[in-house]
Amino acid sequence: MTNTAVPSFQHRTVLLDEAIDALAITGARADGTYVDGTFGRGGHSRLLLSRLGQAGRLIAFDKDPQAIATAEQIADPRFTIVHDSFATMSEALAERGVAHVDGVLLDLGISSPQVDDAARGFSFKNDGPLDMRMDTTRGISAAEWLATESEQTLEKVIRDYGEERFAFQIAKAIVARRAIEPISGTRQLAGIVAGAVKTREKGKDPATRTFQAIRIFINQELEDLEAGLKQAYDALAPGAIMAVISFHSLEDRIVKRFFAERANVPQPDRRLPIRAADLPQPQMKLLAKIKPSAREVDENPRARSAVLRVAMRLPAGGGQ
């Protein structure tokens, strides 16, 4: 049986007030239905619930069994937790009879309790088993993947998901080491990477990019993000708002592109005989791009790379 006891690791919710304020839960909107795509330890969900009216509803998602255990402690009839990725949003909402929602918040990346718990294998600061799964009840661990994947695929994942220029050398070193012994610990992998990376930016551990890459791949984070953004948009009622917090450039580029494609509609040649009613109309309106304050970054250094992007779904025809 999987142990879902909630550990005592502290978690500071990044851009807490800014994200919930962005959803504009006021007036009649307070009785609407909202989605928190990553419950984590519940910071955003709890604040969102405090803004809801009695008829309001919040549906939260998370893949992590420990996050689910925390969520199940919330005794509020307006709250529902789904043990799955937000990439299953369409199906989960349909199962609960929800056709449209008034707001969606997606808080991407990894939480502090996941990083700080050595048993999860996300960090090399403390030695632990090389797992890296956000959902420890399904899928293969990072150790299992490293033991069998081809050198070419290892290189591609480390390069593409970690933006690591030494991906070739790292992949080669991993394959050479696993021929001698299993790669099963976080410090062990970090040492292999450090031996293959000859230079690194000041203050940055050589293994940082490789660990990011493997984590993203193992958890299908970018694929989930692409699917989740589309399903969130499809679920939004006209005038509803989507707010997305990303923590690295790969995520932020996907979010930025998704919003821009729906907000910036290319216009045809004005000389063509096209009626105004037939012109392509924007589907979303960009509302904000917000970064953590200097004070928040000082109090929580893990917030320094966060970016909150906010957009509103427009009615059919692009009216505002």
Name every residue whose Cβ is closer than 8 Å to that of residue 249 and which is 6 or more positions away in sequence.
Answer: 163
Q: Is 114 annotated as a binding residue?
A: yes
Report the relative pairing of strands 307-313 and 284-290 from DSSP bridges: antiparallel
Name the nearest CA neighbour of 102 among 232, 228, 241, 230.
Answer: 241
Name the nearest CA neighbour of 223 among 108, 320, 132.
Answer: 108
Q: Is 169 annotated as a binding residue?
A: no
Name the nearest CA neighbour of 170 among 213, 214, 210, 128.
Answer: 210
Q: Is 220 annotated as a binding residue?
A: no
Name every residue whose Cβ is closer than 8 Å to that of residue 21 and which is 6 or more positions away in sequence.
Answer: none
Q: Is 109 annotated as a binding residue?
A: no
Q: Is 86 annotated as a binding residue?
A: yes
Q: Is 43 annotated as a binding residue?
A: yes
Q: Is 298 annotated as a binding residue?
A: no
Distance, in Å, from the CA atom of 46 to the CA atom of 38, rounded to the nearest integer, reads: 12
* DSSP three-state, residue 5: coil
Distance, in Å, from the CA atom of 201 to the CA atom of 186, rounded to the nearest integer, reads: 21
Distance, in Å, from the CA atom of 70 to the CA atom of 73, rounded to the nearest integer, reads: 6
Binding residues for S-adenosyl-L-methionine: 42-44, 62, 86, 107, 114
Annotated binding site: 42-44, 62, 86, 107, 114
